[in-house]
Amino acid sequence: METTTFDRTVKTLAADLSRRGVLRGVAAGLVAAATGTMAVADAPARKKRRCRPGKSIAFITVPATGALVFTPVLRKGQTYVLHATGFWATDGTFFNDAFARFAAKNPGQPILFDQGVRLGLAVDGLPPDLWGTYKTSHAYGMAVVGRGRALSLQFLDSAYGDNSRLLNVEVVCGR
């Protein structure tokens, strides 16, 4: 019996695939050859899906140590909302949220600076003023537009040695 190129190709494919898989591949090849087209090449390009508004895509904890942490890569042109909640303990008497420091005995009086440092949560190195105004609920939101890269998050303080706890940041798809 004479072995043809077709036979050798089928045997090679059969070594790695099931019989059904080989038959499907051969059938697809015969259809493509008969019609002069390749179905895969003609498939329409898949559109990138936008985020569903309100869908949470990340939950990030920002340590009180001053270490940089990062969001996932935010798709260019897509709007997102960052939600920062909670606060850090800086010593036994003061706490910091995303916007400012406040005394445990008087949480309604925010302290914005300590030794020349603007206190709070920086986003991409920008000052905590981006979070708006001080809130005694310690819950903040900020809209950002993705640039095709991750954003950095960092707690700013004049001294990190007496800090503890974490601040939570959720990244949510916007409109």
User: Are residues 159 and 112 located together in one domain of the fold?
Assistant: yes
SS3 167: strand
pTM for the predicted model, two decimal places: 0.71
Q: What is the pLDDT of residues 130-162, one digit of tens each?
A: 999 999 999 999 999 999 999 999 999 999 999
Determine, yes or no, domain membership for 158: yes
Residue 50 located in a structural domain: no
pLDDT tens by residue, 58-101: 999 999 999 999 999 999 999 999 999 999 998 879 999 999 99
pLDDT in tens, 101-127: 999 999 999 999 999 999 999 999 999
Query: Under a CB-based contact definition with an 8 Å cutoff, are residues 68 and 57 in contact?
Result: no
Shared domain check, 99 and 72: yes
DSSP string, 136-158: TT-EEEEEEE--SBPPEEEEE-S
22 pLDDT above the threshold of 50: no
Asked whether residue 51 is assigned to any structural domain, the reply reads no
Mean pLDDT confidence for 22-32: 45
The answer to whether residues 37 and 104 belong to one domain is no
How confident is the prediction for the chain on average, in pLDDT?
Answer: 82
Question: Per-residue confidence at 49, pLDDT binned at 50, 70, 90?
Answer: low
Same domain, 24 and 73: no
Decide if 48 is inside a domain. no
Residue 46 has pLDDT above 90, yes or no: no
Closest Cα to residue 151, out of 130, 120, 125, 174?
125
> Do residue 21 and residue 93 come from a single domain?
no
More confident residue, 31 or 137: 137
Query: Rounded to whole angstroms, how far apart are CA atoms 157 and 128?
Result: 11
The 3-state secondary structure of 29-76, one letter per residue: HHHHHHHCCCHHHHCCCCCCCCCCCCCEEEEEEEECCCCCEECCCECC
User: Which domain range does residue 26 map to?
Assistant: 5-42
21 and 61 assigned to the same domain: no
| C-alpha dihedral (41, 47, 48, 54), degrees to nearest 10 | -150
Whether residues 26 and 111 fall in one domain: no
The tally of domains found in the chain comes to 2
Let me know whether 85 and 38 are in one domain: no
